[in-house]
């Protein structure tokens, strides 16, 4: 797919989907850097499995100038970033924030930290891509933007902002070289992390009731599609929303 020797940055690379993204890009011969917040053990294992071609970088979404620091580290390690996947997610302990009780909800954090880091990473990597004349930027979003769900008003609003940002970013990037920008919209996805959550069985049944497939995508399946979008195999698709949500959202 033309990723041999390319440099890929995956934010939020130690979670269920993030891990598979790191592995999938690495399997194509790319050098993969990824950010993570807490899970040192998983980060170290991914580095070890990568045989020197995977680099873990601790990063908090609310870190001042964190994107610039990460980009400097990646560039020193492997050169300019060719592919960016904004996968990191700010999620409070209770994801269902109450819209009628703003005082008790970290809603500003939900909005801010699900938007600003993605914008900062996109801006910084686009500057590098303009110099090299090639790049792929992928924002990871959620089908909740279109479907909606009680308690997820602020999460949906934050992810919606990335869709508008990406559409205009595609115009800015596309006039600067072979630089393509897309949003991957995920539905409920089968991961080790999700399957142990207490809300998972009920939400799974609710989600699959509207799915033509009647089954969830898993993280490895999703990652394969992201790799295609982030590779030279994707030559013209940009400014688009690609739904990998078991058919629950039709566009």
pLDDT, tens digit, 9 for 90 and up, residues 110-141: 888 889 999 999 999 999 999 999 999 999 99
* Residue (of 32, 39, 35, 75) closest to 54 by Cα position: 32
pLDDT confidence tier of residue 236, bands split at 50, 70 and 90: very high
Residue 5 tokens, joined: 């020797």
Place of tokens 């992810």: 159
pLDDT of res. 61: 87
The rounded radius of gyration (Å) of the Cα atoms in the chain is 17
pTM of the entire predicted model: 0.92
Measure the CA angle with vertex 61, ends 90 and 31; round to 5°. Answer: 105
pLDDT at 249 over 80: no
């Amino acid at each position: 797919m033309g990723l041999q020797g390319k440099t890929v940055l995956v934010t939020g690379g130690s979670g269920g989907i993030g891990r598979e993204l790191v592995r999938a890009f690495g399997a194509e011969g790319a050098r993969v850097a990824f950010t993570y917040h807490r899970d040192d053990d998983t980060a170290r294992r991914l580095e070890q499995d990568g045989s020197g071609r995977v680099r873990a970088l601790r990063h908090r979404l609310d870190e001042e100038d964190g994107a610039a620091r990460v980009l400097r580290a990646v560039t020193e390690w492997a050169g300019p970033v060719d592919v960016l996947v904004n996968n990191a997610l700010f999620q409070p302990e209770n994801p269902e924030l109450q819209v009628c009780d703003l005082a008790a909800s970290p809603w500003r954090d939900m909005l801010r930290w699900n938007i600003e880091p993605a914008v900062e990473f996109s801006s910084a990597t686009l500057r590098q891509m303009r110099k090299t004349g090639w790049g792929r930027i992928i924002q990871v979003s959620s089908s909740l933007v279109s479907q909606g769900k009680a308690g997820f008003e602020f999460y949906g609003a934050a992810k919606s902002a990335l869709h508008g940002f990406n559409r205009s970013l595609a115009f800015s990037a596309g006039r600067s070289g072979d630089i393509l920008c897309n949003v991957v919209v995920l539905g409920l996805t089968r991961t080790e992390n999700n399957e142990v959550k207490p809300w998972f069985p009920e939400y799974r049944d609710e989600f699959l009731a509207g799915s033509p497939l009647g089954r969830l995508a898993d993280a490895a399946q999703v990652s394969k599609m992201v790799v295609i979008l982030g590779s030279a195999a994707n030559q013209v698709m940009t400014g688009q929303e690609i739904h990998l949500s078991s058919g629950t959202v039709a566009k």
